A and B are shown apart, each in its own frame.
Chain A
Amino acid sequence: DAMVIQNPRYQVTQFGKPVTLSCSQTLNHNVMYWYQQKSSQAPKLLFHYYDKDFNNEADTPDNFQSRRPNTSFCFLDIRSPGLGDAAMYLCATSRDGLTANVLTFGAGSRLTVL
């Protein structure tokens, strides 16, 4: 089945130690998103790629970076994780241009910062 796959599902890191989360998709969707979700809160958009065009949200800290080397893969880099960055990180995709612009999510990567 076509899907969105996130790795790792669980990541434990130390304060200040860089972390990379990955997302791959077999849907051939042109838009990929990274959301941060803290406990009992709404997912918050960090940034998204429309094809190769990177779109950063105004309030996303510089500590968060992203790369999209090709259509299928997108990475979230957290350069110096702080305790406040502990959260679930959700990758999602959508295909712009279609009438039914469904947002499809991966299972998430839960980050713990010690």
Chain B
Amino acid sequence: KQEVTQIPAALSVPEGENLVLNCSFTDSAIYNLQWFRQDPGKGLTSLLLIQSSQREQTSGRLNASLDKSSGRSTLYIAASQPGDSATYLCAVRRSYGQNFVFGPGTRLSVLP
């Protein structure tokens, strides 16, 4: 059974800092991995998707990496801003079926 964990559970940083969020999964037989952002009381917004054959994806100040063999992904946020404050979740899609399994998220606070 695929299990996804995210460390740390919460993170508070001053504005302008670069930071890394971590995602770990137990079964390396994945099709892809997706990072999401969730604002309080809202749905999830897709940030980046990495296919199992890829090592990283970039979008603006965000960079996501994937090391499938070790069951790890990281989300790097450069020059953090208060508007980046949200919960960041990762989800993996198994190599079979349609199910996406989510981690519990990292709650990020960027202080002005």
**Chain A positions near chain B (C-beta within 8 angstroms):** 6, 31, 33, 35, 40-45, 48, 50, 55, 57, 88, 90, 92, 94, 96, 99-108, 110
Contact = CB atoms under 8 A, between A and B. Distances in A.
Interface of B is mostly: strand
B42 A101 contact: no
Interface of B: 4, 31-32, 34, 36, 41-46, 49, 51, 89, 91, 93, 97-105, 107
B42 A103 contact: no
Contact of B100 (A45, A100, A108): A45
Given A33-B98, A44-B102, A105-B45, 14 more contacts: A41-B104, A42-B104, A43-B102, A50-B98, A55-B97, A55-B98, A90-B43, A99-B51, A100-B49, A100-B51, A101-B49, A102-B46, A103-B46, A106-B43
Contact of A43 (B41, B44, B51): B44
Contacts of B107: 40
A44 B104 CA distance: 10
B51 A103 contact: no
Closest 8 CB pairs of A and B: A42-B102, A105-B43, A105-B44, A107-B43, A108-B43, A42-B104, A43-B102, A31-B98
